[in-house]
Amino acid sequence: MKIVISIVITTLLLGALLLGGFNKVLHATNELDFCVSCHSMEVPYEEYKETVHFKNASGVQAVCADCHVPKDYGPKLWAKLMAAKDVYHEMLGTIDSEEKYNQQRWVMANRVWRKMAATDSRECRSCHDFSTMNLEEQDKMARKKHATAEAEGKTCIDCHRGIAHEEPDEPEEPEEPEDQDEPM
């Protein structure tokens, strides 16, 4: 009986250590320095540094994970799994230069926009939500558009594409069918 108890306790301790280590890695991969450590992320990082999400009067900064990684554990794990495609394409050389990155920009942007639309801009709403907006403090056009968007059930990405990164031009030629091996 003592052996069974020892095995159970050892297993629980080992599991707790592994889970703690895994969570530490998840947290570390949400840091800005980690996100921009790949050569291919230099392009979006330079764009981001010119936006209100990077530098603003309040000093609040939204980093990559704030917009691209859900807070809830299950969706976070899925986002991390999907982001592995970026690492894969970095290693393959598919997006390892500004020129190559820009060739894939339309496909990557549309993938992110579809995800944001499907989740009702979940990550945007962790900071921006109609229910907490003071429309009277917004300028006339923003006040009108936000009130209309809320009434029509629109989501942030319906109007705010290109808010943190340069919005790509739609290609003139028809899009190829989606390939699962394309970069995120």
Each domain of the chain, given as residue ranges in start order, spans 31-159
- Predicted structure pTM score: 0.78
Residues 28 and 38: their CA atoms lie apart, in Å, by: 15
- Radius of gyration from C-alpha coordinates of the chain: 20
Residues 163 and 116: their CA atoms lie apart, in Å, by: 13
**Would you tell me how many other CB atoms lie within 10 Å of the CB of residue 93?**
11
- Report the mean per-residue pLDDT for the chain: 89
Q: Which fold has domain 31-159?
A: Multiheme cytochrome fold (1.10.3820)
Give pLDDT tens digits for 22-69: 999 999 999 999 988 887 888 899 999 999 999 988 899 999 999 999
Residue pointed to by tokens 């230069």: 97
